[in-house]
Amino acid sequence: MVNQYIRSENVMRTKKITLPESEMPRQWYNIMADMPTPMEPPLHPGTGEPAGADDLSPIFPMGLIEQDMSQERWIDIPEEVLEKYAIWRPTPLYRAYSLEKFLDTPAKIYYKNEGVSPAGSHKPNTAIPQAYYNKLAGTKKIITETGAGQWGSALAMACTFFGLECKVYMVKISYNQKPYRRLMMETWGAQCIASPSTETNAGRTILEQNPESPGSLGIAISEAIEEAVNTEGAKYSLGSVLNHVMIHQTINGLETQKQMAIAGDYPDVVIGCAGGGSNFAGNCTPFVRDKIHGKEIDIIGVEPSSCPTLTKGPFAYDFGDTVQMTPLLPMYTLGHNFVPAPIHAGGLRYHGMAPIISQLLLDKLIRAESVHQMETFQAGITFARTEGFISAPECNHAIAMAIREALKAKEEGKEKVILFNWSGHGLVDMAAYQAYFQGDLSDYPLPKEEIKRALEDIASLPKPKQYQPGRFE
């Protein structure tokens, strides 16, 4: 009897690969140490000259600025940050047996579940260290923006852990679509305001031009920076795009590499959705490092067809915000005045892209694809009905691409290993699913005239050496 029991347990397939806390990485990985082409520098918004640490110090603490400019390959994670990470990390890696069976594919599909954090996404991976380095520098209050509310809620939690005040400008369309996100922020002690608001000059100007503005991340960033630089003891914080954010998120990819080794597999394809680029960078850059050293991997960033920054935008210098307060960043962009259609993947409605991701795309170490909204929801529902988890609308973009790749593997008869980053759960996004079930959602094809118009606003800005025109003809 006993033997039989053991035997049956031994043949059970491993569904999730977990790591003990003792195996949690103690260092973040910085791909800037390994990139074949160094990134061009950010430029000061006023002078157009390369921006240095002093230019950034009014808005960020020095600990983060140093990481942003670091060429160190490995950066130690402070003990206080590891302690907080341990609340939910290491996160499990799953083998999607049921999805594979449903798709009848020879591909093996793995997904890394970042939705198990208290805020429900990958965003606390950077919120915790950002709050920590601010606390260390004597900051009293952090002001930020949020799209879908995942970042705002993650930072609200991190600030409460380190005894900091937190204020969040939330893009108005998402503020209305996702009321429970605001309540999560309030539960963690933060203040949440719909943007554009009347609290800042930036918000008032936008509202004068368009009282019905649904808001955008670019506008909300302008509001948050304006208030941060004008408030004693306050700093600004960004949940994506910047180098230090990409570095913090690598805790994910480093764990994934250990877990894939335990599973005895190595990915042929690595997929992540890309808004500002942080969950994608976090999961993929340790694999990009392997690719630089000779591994063959197809690494795909997935974005909405209605906001096709990587697939259609030029590689140019542009502002990170609408009111032109941030440094000019070398990145793929649709122009800082571009206001994306009101899709439910609020976290992917951003005009720009992380300079690190942009440079990796320029160097063809990664590639980009875009997916329409309806396909992403169909994919999310297929995932929920096979694997169980209900995904954030952003994350549905990664699932849609994983399904495309698994079906391609079926057509080609190849047993590919596909890995995607499941960046967050959608339990606070059920209104989006309701809209889908009621037939109220649609695709938003983006007319090229609209992109062209938005790009006119960056035509006169300095051009990076590696400038590339847009691809919307």
Ligand X SMILES: Cc1ncc(COP(=O)(O)O)c(C=O)c1O
- Give the 3-state secondary structure of residue 271: strand
Q: Could you give the CA distance from residue 3 to residue 26 in angstroms, rounded to a whole number?
A: 40
For ligand X, which is the closer residue by CB, 348 or 406?
Answer: 348
Closest CB to ligand X among 56 and 395?
395
Which residue's CB comes closest to ligand X? 347
CB of residue 302 vs ligand X: minimum separation in angstroms? 10
Smallest distance, ligand X to C-beta of residue 217, A: 9
Q: Which amino acid is at 413?
A: G
> Which one, 304 or 330, has the nearer CB to ligand X?
304
The amino acid present at 295, given as its one-letter code, is K
Write down the least CB distance from residue 290 to ligand X, Å: 21
Site of interaction with ligand X (CB under 6 A): 121, 147-148, 150-151, 240, 273-280, 347-348, 392, 394-395, 423-424
Strand, coil or helix: 32 = helix
Min. distance of Cβ 278 from ligand X in angstroms? 3
Supply the minimum distance, in Å, between the C-beta of residue 150 and ligand X. Answer: 3
Which residue shows structure tokens 């009848």?
Answer: 104
Nearest to ligand X of 276, 330 (CB atom): 276
Contact 53, 62 (CB under 8 A): yes
Distance CA 470, CA 303 (A): 16
| Rounded least distance, CB 468 to ligand X, Å | 21
- Residue closer to ligand X, measured from CB, 117 or 322: 117
Nearest residue (CB) to ligand X, 228 versus 245 = 245
CA pair distance 5, 419, nearest whole angstrom: 32
Are the beta carbons of 348 and 303 closer than 8 angstroms?
yes
At its nearest, how many Å lie between ligand X and the CB of residue 15? 22
- CB-based contact 171:196 (threshold 8 Å): no
Kindly state the greatest CA–CA separation across the chain.
79
Tokens of 248: 């913090």
Kindly state the helix (H) or strand (E) to which residue 79 belongs, with its residue range: helix 79-85
User: Exposure of 90 by Cβ count < 10 A (0-12 exposed, 13-18 middle, 19+ buried)?
Assistant: buried
Residue whose CB is less far from ligand X, 151 or 315: 151
